[in-house]
Amino acid sequence: MNEIYLARARIMKALASPVRLMMVEALGREERCLCELQPLFRGNKSTLSRHIAALRNVGIIRQRREGTRIYLSLATPCILRVFDCVLGVLRAEAKRHRQLAAGHRGASRERREKGRSFVQPTVSRLTYRKVMGDTHRQTGRSSTSTRAARSRKLNAGFVKHSVGR
């Protein structure tokens, strides 16, 4: 595998924690003392230090010591652009879901008004898992109550036959 992809994966892995993302965002505004960051995050000082070490090891943040205080800042402020990109992806996905839901609602209304059947929009397996919360991915099995809950959710807004199980 190419080294650049491995390096990118290490950086993305370091950012794969809500606490670390909040930390990067807090440091994006200004340099902060570790003692200022600690009250903002749950957990003890050692847990916070591990998060800082993970971000420091991949080059996202840097630290400097001034007496007994440790000051943290972003080593690469361009990392904040990733947040904008992720926000764009989230907005596009939300728009797609709204359009899908509006298309389904509009199709139901049209069927009632005209009194004839038509092909309803399909839902991808990925969307199904997001909506239904596939809790049994490893075994592929689900309990009767889980199946019943999924059935209720499907009847509330998605088409049963479109999933393709």
Measured at the alpha carbon of residue 155, what is the angle toward residues 152 and 159, in degrees to the nearest 5?
Answer: 130
Per residue in 110-149, pLDDT (tens digit) is: 555 555 544 444 555 555 455 555 544 444 544 555 666 6
CATH class of 3-75: mainly alpha
User: Which whole-number Å values give the CA distances from 86 to 33, 90, 91, 92, in the listed order?
Assistant: 27, 6, 9, 10
- For the chain, the straight-line distance linking the first and the last C-alpha, in angstroms and rounded, comes to 35
Per-residue tens of pLDDT for the chain, all 165 residues: 699 999 999 999 999 999 999 999 999 889 999 888 888 887 788 888 899 999 999 999 999 999 999 999 999 889 999 989 999 999 999 999 988 888 766 555 555 555 554 444 455 555 545 555 554 444 454 455 566 666 565 555 544 444 444
Domains of the chain by residue range:
3-75, 80-120, 122-165
Picking from 84, 165, 86, the residue whose alpha carbon sits closest to that of residue 123 is: 165
